[in-house]
Amino acid sequence: MSRVWNFSAGPAALPEEVLKQAAEEMLDWQGAGMGVMEMSHRGKEFTSIAEAAEADLRELMAVPDNYRILFMQGGAIAENAIIPMNLLGQHDSADYVVTGAWSAKSLKEARRYCKAHVAASAEAGGFTSVPAMTEWSLSDDPAYLFTCTNETIGGVEYPFEPDLAAIGRAEVPVVADVSSHILSRAMDVSKYGLLFGGAQKNIGPAGLTIVIVREDLLGRSVPACPTAFDYKTVADNGSMYNTPPTYGIYIAGLVFQWLKRQGGVAAIEAQNIAKAKLLYDYLDASDFYASKVDPACRSRMNVPFFLADESLNEVFLAESKAAGLVQLKGHKSVGGMRASIYNAMPLAGVQALVDFMRDFAARKG
Ligand code: PMP
């Protein structure tokens, strides 16, 4: 067996230890005589898997007691509709901070449900930075303020945690799409009303959506909200109102245990800082490659970069693939290259990428 260094933005590489454990348990989970995919979601075996996964996530992120963790389906894009349907309550508007393709998409979807107001936008600068909170202009009575704290496509990550108390608007709950950097760095959950993300980058397989929501925001859904997507219904039923994505929850649970073995979020954050520094330092030192993102807002997870001579793009991709470095092509809306270096990518993988890039530049420069 030979595994590649996989720089996919998602679904993305998973820790090898997790895949091996899942393979070992595929036919017979811990003596149950059946695999996890074959278990009733209400049976004692799966109940223990789901409870452990939730408890481990709560511990890893230090989720306060007044927040509920929901395991849902639909992915982050479905949440763009599910969030307004759940949080609008008596409000008819919500505020959006637009920092890239994903928050722009969230804004567009919200407009189907409410008046969505742009509180700040980084579009004029080509989505290469995050507007400072002092520049955010909130409307009078929004149901929430929406952010995407790591823009996977543009490679822009908030260098601060949104904190509306700091601008005198503590009453407005902050919603954050953390799909592509959840568990990669410390986050103070108490600063948010709701955090959400698809699992397929830093957590596990596609099909599982994580929602972490403050309890006082439950029970505000609009009448048209589908019951299966009503956060209060999901919370009241322990994420088992409908059949949850059981296998995804199981793999997520194994990833949470792996993360705890690595030393938890603080330890993985230190590794992520080292990985990102290795790659950005090389990009900055080289005339052959460039990063276009404001250095203060560069994502530790998604690193778009460009070859000075774009006519070499195809040969760069072909040669990197031959060297066992895959999925480096940038998103079509941005172009160039993108290396996604989530928690499961070890420093050795980033080193292999930098070594390849240096060698390629020496040969073609
Ligand atoms: N938000 C962000 C920040 C993302 O990176 C993605 C997926 N790349 C999405 C939303 C959409 O997620 P999904 O396809 O799971 O709906």
Of 242, 232, 252, 236, residue with least CA distance to 82: 232
Of 341, 71, 68, residue with least CA distance to 185: 341
Task: Identify the pLDDT of residue 18.
Answer: 98
Q: Is 102 in the pocket of ligand 1 (CB under 6 A)?
A: yes
Task: Identify the pLDDT of residue 365.
Answer: 85
Ligand-binding site membership of 242 (annotated) = yes
* Residue ranges per structural domain of the chain: 18-261, 264-364
Q: Which two tokens stand for residue 281?
A: 């330092």
Q: Which of 7, 153, 179, 196 to mutate to test the pocket of ligand 1 (most atoms within 8 A of CB)?
A: 179
Q: Which of 80, 98, 106, 152 to mutate to test the pocket of ligand 1 (most atoms within 8 A of CB)?
A: 152
CB 114 within 8 A of CB 84: yes
CB 272 within 8 A of CB 185: yes
Please indicate whether the domains covering 18-261 and 264-364 agree at the CATH topology level: no
d(CA 106, CA 113): 11
CB 186 within 8 A of CB 266: yes
Catalytic site residues? 102, 177, 201
Residue carrying structure tokens 């601008």: 167
Ligand-binding site membership of 177 (annotated) = yes
Task: Identify the pLDDT of residue 290.
Answer: 97
Residue carrying structure tokens 């904190």: 163
Residue 313 CB neighbours (<10 A): 17
Residue 337 CB neighbours (<10 A): 21
Omega of the bond leading into 84 within 30 degrees of 0 (cis): no
Task: Identify the pLDDT of residue 1.
Answer: 74
Q: Is 155 in the pocket of ligand 1 (CB under 6 A)?
A: no
Q: Is 161 in the pocket of ligand 1 (CB under 6 A)?
A: no
Task: Identify the pLDDT of residue 263.
Answer: 98
Q: Is 198 in the pocket of ligand 1 (CB under 6 A)?
A: yes
Q: Is 72 in the pocket of ligand 1 (CB under 6 A)?
A: no
- The CATH superfamily of 264-364 is Aspartate Aminotransferase, domain 1 (3.90.1150.10)
121, with CB counted inside 10 A (0-12, 13-18, 19+), is middle
Ligand-binding site membership of 200 (annotated) = yes
Tens of pLDDT along the chain (365 residues)? 789 999 999 999 999 999 999 999 999 999 999 999 999 999 999 999 999 999 999 999 999 999 999 999 999 999 999 999 999 999 999 999 999 999 999 999 999 999 999 999 999 999 999 999 999 999 999 999 999 999 999 999 999 999 999 999 999 999 999 999 999 999 999 999 999 999 999 999 999 999 999 999 999 999 999 999 999 999 999 999 999 999 999 999 999 999 999 999 999 999 999 999 999 999 999 999 999 999 999 999 999 999 999 999 999 999 999 999 999 999 999 999 999 999 999 999 999 999 999 999 999 98
The pTM score is 0.98
| Residues pairing with 340 in the sheet | 302
Phi, psi dihedrals of residue 31, rounded to the nearest 5° = 80, 5
CATH class for domain 18-261?
Answer: alpha beta
Q: How far does residue 60's CA lie from ligand 1's centre (Å)?
A: 22
Does the ipTM surpass 0.90? yes
